[in-house]
Structure 1
């Protein structure tokens, strides 16, 4: 008889082995069954030094996912309130873009007076880093502060729509600073608290750097950066509202 497992053919000299048992591998012919079940490789022990890697979501994909995150359920009142806010900031933003680098329109906005305390605080904040940074700190903190709030809304509050408004504010601050830079060679913009033209931030900064003749170029760069940030905020906020509309519920 031939063994169904190992293929050994029982010989005459194997009479000492019980009938029905393979002399070669010792299995009982009648009880042996081939193992046809699929092998579960996940249950196999992992060899030492061998690692199995879980799928990893790319870092950029996680950032994009967080920036586009919206609530799973949005009530109608909140949604339409955000739509109204978006329209208001959209129109307001375009008034700054189309107005160009004009001190009368930019400085005449009440938002300039709201930005001014942050500008002055920036001088104090950066003053320990030397005179140059102390002067630059006013404009620098003015544009960085809204970015800090934007990150707080994204990471802590998980409110991406509010974050898009903070990006808008950052862009507006870049535009707000641009006429101040353009005025560096002339020092004609009136300063707060009756300060003389000797306290003109950008007049001093560009004079210290020997680049006073490039004031118009730097002003255009700051204005252009502000325009780009405003446009990004429009696109970001609008897309978030589109996604929220799909999750729109009742009152």
Structure 2
């Protein structure tokens, strides 16, 4: 068990013997930027779908829509859920590649941050399922068949709890971004000690 924990620590906090100062300062600046932006995103209003106006929301829309196509072979439920799944999981895939192939825990931490933001981005959509008000890509407000989370939560018998679930989804996403920022900060701190 102890050996596994040490191996995980080595992967998650891998630091080269020497790190160019420019790399350390660039990572520290990026970390400060995503921390500031993540804090702003976490404070956005869920019911008004304020996050849909954020810059990071725009690239997530085609990823979300492609998720519906990707998960179509797995049935209607997974087709509906697939958009949100891919939107939240794709950054984790990129993070895994950065961590395993490139031995870049800072890059992996930023990808985890993006995944947390993607989770927060789904919260207004979940919230809207109970009383659909927002116009979707179909040009309509969510009727059954046009709103992923009306169908997903309806199938699970949770439609009446959409709004508290959405608040939980948002809180979980914010927690993930916070953890990612702490991880990134530890990596930058370790690299700062080895700058040359």
What are the Cα deviations for residues 59-97 of structure 1, in whole angstroms up to 9, with x where unaligned? 122012110111221112121111111110010011112
Q: Deviations over 1:129-182 (max 9, x none)?
A: 110011000111111111111110000011111111001000000100001000
**Partners of 1:141 and 1:171 in 2: how far apart?**
13
Supply the distance in 1 between the matched residues of 2:154 and 2:120 (Cα, whole angstroms).
22
Unaligned runs of 5+ in 1: 1-55
1:92 aligns with 2:37: yes
TM value normalised by structure 2: 0.93
Q: Distance in 2 between matches of 1:94 and 1:57?
A: 35
1:186 aligns with 2:103: no
Structure 1 match to 2:114: 169
Q: Does residue 208 of the first structure (1) align with residue 185 of the second (2)?
A: no
Q: CA deviation at 1:102?
A: 4.6
CA deviation map 1:173-209 (0-9, x unaligned): 0100001000001221211142552301101212222
Tell me if 1:220 matches 2:135. Answer: no
Are 2:32 and 1:101 equivalent residues in the alignment? no
Name the larger-Rg structure.
1
Q: Which runs of 5+ in 2 are unaligned?
A: none
Does residue 1:231 correspond to 2:168, yes or no?
no
Q: Higher relative CO (CA 8 A, sep ≥ 6), structure 1 or 2?
A: 2
Give the aligned length: 194
**Which structure has the highest helix share of the two?**
2
Given the two structures, how large is their TM-score scaled by the length of structure 1?
0.74
Aligned to 1:241: 188
User: RMSD of the alignment, in Å?
Assistant: 1.6
2:9 to 57, 64, 71: 64
